[in-house]
Amino acid sequence: MARSGNSKDNRDLGTALALLWDETEAPTRGPKPSLTPRRIAEAAVSLADSDGLDAVTMTKVAGLFKLSAMALYRYVPGKAELVELMIEAILAERPDLSVAGDDWQSQITEWARRSWDVHQAHPWLVTATAMRRQAMGPHQLGWMDAALASLEQTGLPPADQHQIFLLVAGLVRNLAQQRLDYDEEHDQEWNRLNGELLARHAHRFPALTRAIVGGAFEPAGDPLGFGLARLLDGVQALITRQQAG
């Protein structure tokens, strides 16, 4: 624990933010750099897309440019910052929510679907964002801004809008996480072993057993749609109540 803000941490944070905002000034002297932080991040993204986040090591990323691992440290302070740049890279295009309609429900739904698409295209994203350091770059803020712009139409207090944004973003993140769990384990043998154990201890888990025989664990059709519908209904109820009160 005990990670207070000493001066070294703060300097690291400053350079990390400068990197995310692309505010690093290029030097004039010396050999021309053969890379940029952005190109490195893109290479790391392609590596993660094909081989998973664990395959993103300094050595392997540098290898894509036929460079030594340490060469990367001329462009990026460390691996944590590289992962941040990877996240920023795949959020490059800010979502245009107006295509879905003018009401906030359609727009926030569109936002969720776009975010879901990104998570599907880059399954490592959920793991990468779990490594925290919540230093958001401009692309990440752009996505946030798009969602908040839609939620302004709700007429709710700004703090509520923010909370709702977090709920929607969290909903997508959770589904992406669940999909990670699911794809990894869901094979014949796992079902057999788990089913056998559960059947043997069925008396300890009566509701769970009933849920299983009721088909509650059959693959769901549209989990994102379901969760989103519940959530937006709840928000609508809040709006109605506020307008009444």
Partner DNA sequence: CTCGATTTCTATACGGTATAAACAGTTCCG
Partner DNA sequence: CGGAACTGTTTATACCGTATAGAAATCGAG
Q: Which residues bind to DNA, rule: CB under 7 A?
A: 27-35, 56-60, 62, 66-71, 73-75, 78-80
- Identify the three-state secondary structure at position 137: coil
Q: Is 45 near its own copies (CB under 8 A)?
A: no
Residue numbers 111-130 binding its own copies by CB under 8 A? 126-127, 130
Burial class (CB in 10 A: 0-12, 13-18, 19+), 31: exposed
For residue 138, the partner it binds in its own copies, DNA, none, with Cβ less than 5 to 8 A by kind, is its own copies
Q: Of residues 36, 98, 133, 242, which one binds its own copies by CB under 8 A?
A: 133
Cβ closer to DNA: 30 or 245?
A: 30
For residue 108, the partner it binds in DNA, its own copies, none, with Cβ less than 5 to 8 A by kind, is none
The answer to whether the CB of 46 falls within 8 A of the CB of 85 is no
Cβ closer to DNA: 76 or 146?
A: 76
Cβ closer to DNA: 84 or 110?
A: 84
Q: Is 134 near its own copies (CB under 8 A)?
A: yes
Q: Of residues 69, 70, 121, 197, which one binds its own copies by CB under 8 A?
A: 197
Q: Of residues 99, 182, 195, 242, which one binds its own copies by CB under 8 A?
A: 182
CB of 49 to DNA, least distance (A): 17
For residue 113, the partner it binds in its own copies, DNA, none, with Cβ less than 5 to 8 A by kind, is none
The answer to whether the CB of 85 falls within 8 A of the CB of 76 is yes
Measured CA to CA, the distance from residue 153 to residue 111 in angstroms comes to 15
Q: What is the 3-state secondary structure (H, E, C) of 186-203?
A: CCHHHHHHHHHHHHHCHH
Q: Of residues 64, 71, 118, 238, which one binds its own copies by CB under 8 A?
A: 238
Q: Between the CA of residue 210 and those of 97, 160, 206, 217, 223, what are the distances in Å?
A: 41, 37, 6, 11, 21
- Identify the three-state secondary structure at position 72: helix
The pair of three-digit structure tokens given for residue 84, joined into one six-digit string: 């941040």
